[in-house]
Amino acid sequence: MDTYKWDGQVQRYRNKETGRFVKTETILKLTEQNMQQKTSRMLQSFDDVKSGKINLSEYQRENLEIIKYLHTQQYLVAKGGFRTTTPEDYLEIGRELKNLHYPAFRDFVQQLQNGAITEGQARARIRSFGKASETLADLGHRSSAKQNGLTWARRYLSAVEHCSDCPIYAAMGAVTIDNLILPGRQCECRFNCKCYVRYFKTREEALRS
């Protein structure tokens, strides 16, 4: 990421040397690789619990740190890098972790301790904890839009299967940024939601998109 710089007005990264836009797919690939590496480590530490190398307390402590890292990185990349962040950004990350992701993981560890979940279910849950970090990217993107004076937004459906809620939100059309319902929230897709959002300076721009 050191070779890229954020252009907040268009909400995209540019190559520092050429000034050309970096493909969105390139940025997504980098974050996906990072997420896969950390998820692999979470799965390995689960195996370490099974083999007796570590106990559940050690497992929980390590993986809460991984979850914190993943969610923070997703937010910062979507926001435009740490140079664009403010204290409020870190407060928002902290709220998400404290209110949603940390409690969910602690409940999962309690299920492991009680033997209330199969190994297959456990591995699927672990992968979902990594996947859930993508919701922080949406928050980071929204924060960047606000910071750069983009006050209108539209939510779009991607060309994949979606739940019954997503078309309703997409049909709302142009909305103020504070009234936007972000992908993965208040919909049955949750962390698997593939909707995406674009931000605009004016309502007219949003309506034309």
Looking at the fold, whether 134 and 174 belong to one and the same domain comes out as no
Q: Determine phi and psi for 12, rounding to 5 degrees.
A: -145, 160
> Which of 139, 162, 193 is the C-terminal boundary of a domain?
139
Q: Give the global pTM.
A: 0.90
Question: What is the pLDDT, as a whole number, of residue 161?
Answer: 86
* pLDDT for residue 199 is more than 80: yes
**Shared domain check, 155 and 135:** no
With bands split at pLDDT 50, 70 and 90, how would you rate the model's confidence at 82?
confident
What is the rounded CA–CA span in Å between residue 124 and residue 160? 21
Span 178-197, average pLDDT: 91
> Tens of pLDDT along 12-40?
999 999 999 999 899 989 999 999 999 99
> Which tokens sit at 40?
């692999």
Same domain (yes/no): 135, 154: no
- Within this chain, do residues 184 and 124 fall inside the same structural domain, yes or no? no
Tokens of 82: 């740490």
Q: Which of 90, 121, 139 is the last residue of a domain?
A: 139
pLDDT digit string (tens) for 38-78?
A: 999 999 999 999 999 999 999 999 999 999 999 999 999 99
Which structural domain range is residue 163 located in?
149-208
Residues 171, 69, single domain; the answer is: no
Is 150 a residue whose pLDDT tops 80? Answer: yes
* Alpha carbon distance 16, 77 (integer Å): 16
According to the model, what pLDDT value does residue 26 have? 92
Above pLDDT 70, what percent of the chain? 100
Q: In this structure, are residues 176 and 186 in contact, taking their beta carbons and an 8 Å threshold? A: no
Same domain? For 102 and 176 the reply is no
Instruction: Give me the pLDDT at residue 2, please.
Output: 76
Confidence at 175, pLDDT banded by 50, 70, 90: very high
Rg of the Cα trace of the chain?
A: 19
Of 139, 162, 192, at which residue does a domain stop? 139
**209 pLDDT exceeds 90?**
no
How far apart, in Å, are the Cα atoms of 31 and each of 16, 112, 119?
Answer: 19, 29, 27
Residue 55 within a domain:
yes
- Provide the domain count of the chain: 2
Averaged over 121-132, what is the pLDDT?
Answer: 95
Residue 103 falls inside a structural domain: yes
Question: What's the rounded Cα separation, in Å, for the pair 51 and 20?
Answer: 50
pLDDT for position 73: 95
* Segment 108-136 mean pLDDT: 95
Q: What is the mean pLDDT of the chain?
A: 94
Identify whether residues 24 and 72 lie together within a single domain. yes
Helix, strand, coil distribution of the chain in percent, nearest 5: 60, 10, 30
* Residues β-bridged to residue 176: 152
Please indicate, yes or no, whether residues 73 and 155 belong to a single structural domain of this protein. no
